[in-house]
Structure 1
């Protein structure tokens, strides 16, 4: 059930008791009950509208982001070669753009509790679209990933220089870095 349905389900027994009490003492109290319903509906709708407005204001420009992702796909396709075409990104939105192409992608999902040895709550500790940087080396090694596309918009605290197994090939718009992966250099993770 959705959020509004839960409120209605909670209020039905309260309304029954209120109706009995109100009509027992004052038959004209139906207007008070209608007013309460209108007020409650208004408050709930205001909260939903405010929440959707705030979400819309905090998201980045989707047209610009879409352009950057398409540029990343085009650039990455020039790097792909036979046998070295396993691609991974810390952004699931960027990874989706590789579906249907000639790249093999690793796409962790919450539909399955585990991706390799990692539980989805380890992979997505904050939200579903952002992969945690601490599990990336293990995923790269476990799934023999050849290329990493690191979106620094999602994690501005991490420096790719801390990962010696990555070789920066190209940086796009200062946000997305295309790196080749040297699996032999990944230590026990």
Structure 2
């Protein structure tokens, strides 16, 4: 059991380190390009500093690892829950584009609804999905939910009878 736990932790650590390394390389390239063009301002510096702090925190405290100890045993059993971050977006209706290997969705500034769907389907069990919303103006409505896979992509998916959801305006549907 201990060997299996060590193996899982090692695999997760290697994958996680590679992800952080890619993010750091992306930031390094961004900084290099800006330095060559001499086109940055103080807010850019703060943003890069925040990104570096976030990467440091992510490296020191991996977000998807929980170590649990079973203290009822003579020799405690340690179990590792390492959640993989393999979920990606796959389909969209509206003015969006995908970036960073389908893990980032960018929406343009136009008005109207956009429907974005993830790649994987879940029929049972408990799922944990993490979202980071970087720019959301006050007049924008955002909706998170589940919907039947048979419901087509459409302008107003939130109105579908198979939709169960929550929005940033504390609205619950379904």
- TM > 0.5 fold call: no
**Which is greater in Rg?**
1
Q: Taking structure 1 as the reference length, what is the TM-score of the superposition?
A: 0.27
Which has the larger share of helix?
A: 1
Which has the larger share of strand?
A: 2
Highest RCO, 1 vs 2 (Cα 8 Å, sep ≥ 6): 1
Q: Taking structure 2 as the reference length, what is the TM-score of the superposition?
A: 0.29
